[in-house]
Structure 1
Amino acid sequence: MSDIFSGSLAAFALTALVIEMTPGPNMAYLAALSLSQGIRAGLAAVGGVALGLSVYGAVAALGLSAAIDNSPLLYEVLRWGGVIYLLWLAWEAWASEAETAPEKAGDSDIRPGQAFRRGLITNLLNPKAAVFYVAVLPDFIQPGRGSVVTQTLGLSALYVGIATLVHLVIVLLASRLQSAIHTPEKRRGIRRVLAVALAAIAVWFAFSTAR
């Protein structure tokens, strides 16, 4: 029985890793933020995303995530809220010109608190996070291994841990590249490329989450 349980945990961890390695709103936002604003903002956003995933895990344990999955209206509100929010972030990145002038380079810096809130909101407006807890996580619940609530919380914690590790790697890699775009012209160009990427992710997100 313990071998079966260990195998189930390993399978769940691998599933979570593959899902988090798939490009999506969280990955795109964290890369864009870290590349343009640096590691402090990126790490703060990772914390926000982790909190958002934890919230959905707690919601799943209470059975509420099933309500999100079964309510077309609530699902659509979350889905389009996420699309609009990503488009707003893309517009903000495109429209910001502060870094083109050296004396104003710090004016558009995002404070860690802002990055944390944006990471949290980006994740909470992603209905796919809720659907994961409804469609994937229950398959790994083991009868006779404790209460469903306890197992759900444990698997949720494992998922959040794996997701956070993946997000930290993204932030570290992106922030390492920041030194290569230290001139105002390069920073403006990169911000606009990332703005287009975020807008493209928003459009992809709208189509990929449609039912």
Structure 2
Amino acid sequence: MIAALFSFAIASLLIELTPGPNMTYLAVLAAARGRVPGLAAVGGVALGLTLLGALAVLGLGALVLEHPWLYQSLRWAGVAYLLYLAWEAWSDSRKPIDALSPDGSNWRYFRRGLMTNLLNPKAALFYITVMPSFFTAATMREAILFSAVYVVVATGIHAGVVLLAGSVRPLLTAPQRRRAMGWIFALLLLGIAVWVAMASAR
């Protein structure tokens, strides 16, 4: 099982290095708001991955695939949420930077990281279709172990993205640059929303 676990960790690393909804949102958030809000969102994403893994282990993920209306509801809710985040990135870039000061809590960003991941059909499909192909024995213990490895690998990648993206924030404080980056961030999130809608179509 060690060899299978190692192969799965490498596969998880390669998959997480591919840009997707989580990576794009975290990079946009860290570049616009800073590393601390970004890391709070990383915590939310990690919890979301853990919950999705638990649902997959319990067999609820397969239930979603068996009922098209459940899958489509998840899919379009995720697309709608990404579109909302794109609008927010654009509108926030038009506000004075003082108006975006933290309210004393990063709970808001933690919640958004959680929601972004729970409404990501690609993450759910990974647990249901990709992860089981690495199992050496279809046991509850093995499923939990593989899920934990994926969460650790993904969280490490996400934290790295936030730290790198947060380093460019001081360059974006000028109003003209913030407005330009607001357009770029909004278009990135819009592109990811379209990609999710197309890639998750059944």
TM-score, length of structure 2 as denominator length: 0.94
SS at match of 1:98: coil
Quick check: 1:124 aligned with 2:118?
yes
Q: Tell me how far 1:133 sits from its aligned partner.
A: 1.1
Alignment partner for residue 85 of structure 2, among 77, 84, 89?
89
| Amino acid aligned to 1:141 | F
Match of 1:115 in 2: 109
Quick check: 1:106 aligned with 2:102?
no
Deviations 1:62-106 (A, max 9, x none): 11111122221111101100000000110111122223xxxxx23
Alignment partner for residue 185 of structure 1, among 168, 172, 176?
176
Alignment partner for residue 17 of structure 1, among 13, 20, 26?
13
| Amino acid aligned to 2:173 | H
Q: Tell me how far 1:6 sits from its aligned partner.
A: 1.6
RMSD (Å) for aligned C-alpha atoms = 1.3
CA distance in 1, matches of 2:101, 2:193: 23
Q: Tell me how far 1:7 sits from its aligned partner.
A: 1.2
Highest Rg: 1 or 2? 1
SS at match of 1:22: coil
| Amino acid aligned to 1:64 | L
Q: Tell me how far 1:53 sits from its aligned partner.
A: 0.2
CA distance in 1, matches of 2:200, 2:162: 25
Match of 2:135 in 1: 141
| Amino acid aligned to 2:160 | V
**C-alpha contact 1:9 1:140 (8 A) present in aligned 2:** yes
CA distance in 2, matches of 1:92, 1:56: 26
Deviations 1:48-73 (A, max 9, x none): 00000000111111111111222211
What is the aligned-residue identity percentage? Answer: 48
CA distance in 2, matches of 1:149, 1:68: 20
| Amino acid aligned to 2:6 | A
CA distance in 2, matches of 1:106, 1:114: 18
The 5 A counterparts of 1:128-207 are 128-143=122-137, 148-207=139-198
Q: Tell me how far 1:112 sits from its aligned partner.
A: 1.1
Alignment partner for residue 29 of structure 1, among 25, 41, 48?
25
Aligned residue pairs, count: 199
Alignment partner for residue 60 of structure 2, among 28, 49, 64?
64
* More moved, 129-138 vs 166-175: 129-138
Structure 1: any 5+ residue segments left out of the alignment? 100-104
TM-score, length of structure 1 as denominator length: 0.90
* More moved, 170-179 vs 65-74: 65-74
Q: Tell me how far 1:108 sits from its aligned partner.
A: 2.4
